[in-house]
Amino acid sequence: MIVMKFGGTSVESAAAMERIAGIVGSYAHRKPLVVVSAMGKTTNRLLAAADKAAAGNVEDALRDAEELRAFHRKEGGAAVPAESLGTLNALLETHFGELEVTLEAIAKAGEVTAALWDEVCSYGERLSSSIVALAFPKFGVAARHLDARSVLVTDSRHGQALPLYSRTYQRFAEKAAPMVEESVVVMGGFIGATVDGVTTTLGRGGSDFSAAIAGAGLGAEEIQIWTDVDGMLTCDPRVLAGGHLVRHISFVEAAELAYFGAKVLHPATVLPAIEKNIPVRILNSRRPEVEGTLIVSEPVPCTNFVKSIACKKDITVVSIRSLRMLMAHGFLRRIFEVFDRYRTPVDMVSTSEVSVSLTIDQTRFLSDIEAELSKIAEVTVLPNQAIICLVGDALRETSGVAERIFSAIKDVNIRMISQGASLMNVSLVVDGADLVRAVDALHREFFTVLDPEVF
């Protein structure tokens, strides 16, 4: 039994659905449960409609909903067999009727509450999973639909719900496992429900998390994340082309890379997989013949002590300087309480005798944070920075790493440097304008010669 997750671009059209049906069909003997994201940019379009409704533009919001209905009717109609067209039309009528009611409720409230946000977002995955399940038989794959809300039980923290694992695993064992024995099962990612049946979401990018939860609940032999890239590369292709495929990597290394900007994998994905020791494989739905990246529990021995370079753009460095307060008891606590109060995560931290520098990538409340911190210290904000993170299990045991890093980018000004608490990463902050040339130099330094067992 395996779990196969497909992202929005893999189900964005009838042609895409036919392509993934071929992939799933080739794995039918392994009894797959298929997890899908919303079709294309559906979630963004749903949220745009919700915002219009909240602003009082109900007609525009309903027009957006109608355009989405037409899009799903067109692509779904081309994908499902003729005998299922009536079922498809009834499905669309029901879902978009409910969506219109939700948009009108938002307009009445004058805001998109957290619960309504989840309700609106959920329609994307509810629609895509239902349509994909209807489409698969046209391409020779017997399939059934499973509403994720009936098995993935969460707390009531809307927008960022956390699974209630014991109840969720029990539901998957009791409800999903018997279905998988009979045919391919398709469910939506990203969504769940409280014990009382109220719709929740796991947060953006949560379909990967859903797949891992499903895999853990079913005791799957493997969790496959099908994307539009070949797997994890030695550098971020959005920053620098020409990276090499990483064939094997550990859970911990993958989590470090994901946290520091490798968008191939959602950071939370590895948690249920680690708990159940289930391998995760990253694959390309447009190039299914490529072996992809296999993520396993234990690091694979490698002569390259750096496995990959991750990047985070649009970082802001906040420096807090206080000659009087830095070493005073409770000063650091006061600093981080401010960021906690405004729910702003901190990536890197560096301290000296008189200052603390840290990085953030969410600046929504930056002016408020700066105002509060200014009451206790001198604050400097430096925008448009970037984090470069070198990750590898062997970093902890290798001497001379810093010398090679500084030598490779001797012409680049480094704002901050930190070795992660896991001892598996070395992170640097550079000006955003220097990011590409710094990554290029580091990539040439550490990946000129490759270990064939890993790359």
Which residues are registered as beta bridge partners of 283?
226
Of 207, 227, 247, which residue is a domain's last?
227
For residue 432, being part of any structural domain is answered with yes
Same domain, 173 and 316: no
Angle between helix 85-109 and 42-54 (nearest 10): 40
Q: What is the pLDDT of residues 300-340, one digit of tens each?
A: 788 888 888 988 899 999 999 876 665 566 778 889 999 99
pLDDT, mean of residues 347-375: 88
Whole-number Cα distances in Å, 90 to 69, 97, 134, 238: 12, 10, 12, 41
8 and 123 assigned to the same domain: yes
Does 35 fall in a domain?
A: yes
User: Of 153-157, 249-253, 350-354, 431-435, where does mean pLDDT reach its minimum?
Assistant: 350-354
pLDDT of residue 215: 96
SS3 326: coil
Give 215: exposed, middle or buried? Use CB within 10 Å, 0-12, 13-18, 19+.
buried
Q: For position 328, what pLDDT does the model report?
A: 66
Is residue 356 domain-resident? yes
Query: Is residue 308 within a helix (H) or strand (E), and if so which, with residue range?
Result: strand 308-321
Does residue 301 belong to any structural domain of this protein? no
End-of-domain residue from the set 169, 192, 227: 227
Instruction: Detail the DSSP E strand segments found in 86-232.
Output: 143-146, 184-188, 191-193, 199-201, 222-227
Higher confidence at residue 327 or residue 39? 39
pLDDT band at 420 (very low <50, low <70, confident <90, very high): low
In 320-448, alpha helices (H): 331-341, 366-373, 401-408, 435-446
Give the contacts of 100 (CB within 8 A, at least 6 positions apart). 62, 65
Assign 430 a pLDDT band (cuts: 50, 70, 90): very high
pLDDT at res. 134 = 97
Instruction: List helix spans (H) across 362-450.
Output: 366-373, 401-408, 435-446
Tell me whether residue 291 is in a domain: no
Q: What is the mean pLDDT of the chain?
A: 90
Is 36 within the bounds of a domain?
Answer: yes
In which region does residue 330 sit, left (phi positive, over 0), alpha (psi from -120 to 50) or beta (all else)? left
**Mean of pLDDT values over 284-303:** 87
Count how many domains the chain has. 2
| Domain-ending residue, one of 202, 227, 252 | 227
Question: 3, 156 in Cβ contact below 8 A?
Answer: no
Quote the pLDDT of residue 331.
Answer: 79
Residues 13 and 136 in one domain: yes
- Tell me if 244 is assigned to some domain: no
Same domain, 50 and 178: yes
Q: What percent of the chain has pLDDT over 90?
A: 65
Looking at the fold, whether 47 and 158 belong to one and the same domain comes out as yes
Q: Give the CATH number of the domain where residue 319 resides.
A: 3.30.2130.10
75 near 14, Cβ under 8 Å? yes
List all residues 6 or more positions away from 448 whose beta carbon is below 8 Å from its beta carbon: none
Instruction: Judge whether residue 76 has pLDDT over 80.
Output: yes
Is 70 a residue whose pLDDT tops 90? Answer: yes
pLDDT, tens only, 103-147 = 999 999 999 999 999 999 999 999 999 999 999 999 999 999 999
CATH number of the domain bearing residue 144: 3.40.1160.10
Full domain range(s) for residue 327? 308-446
- Residue 310 pLDDT: 87
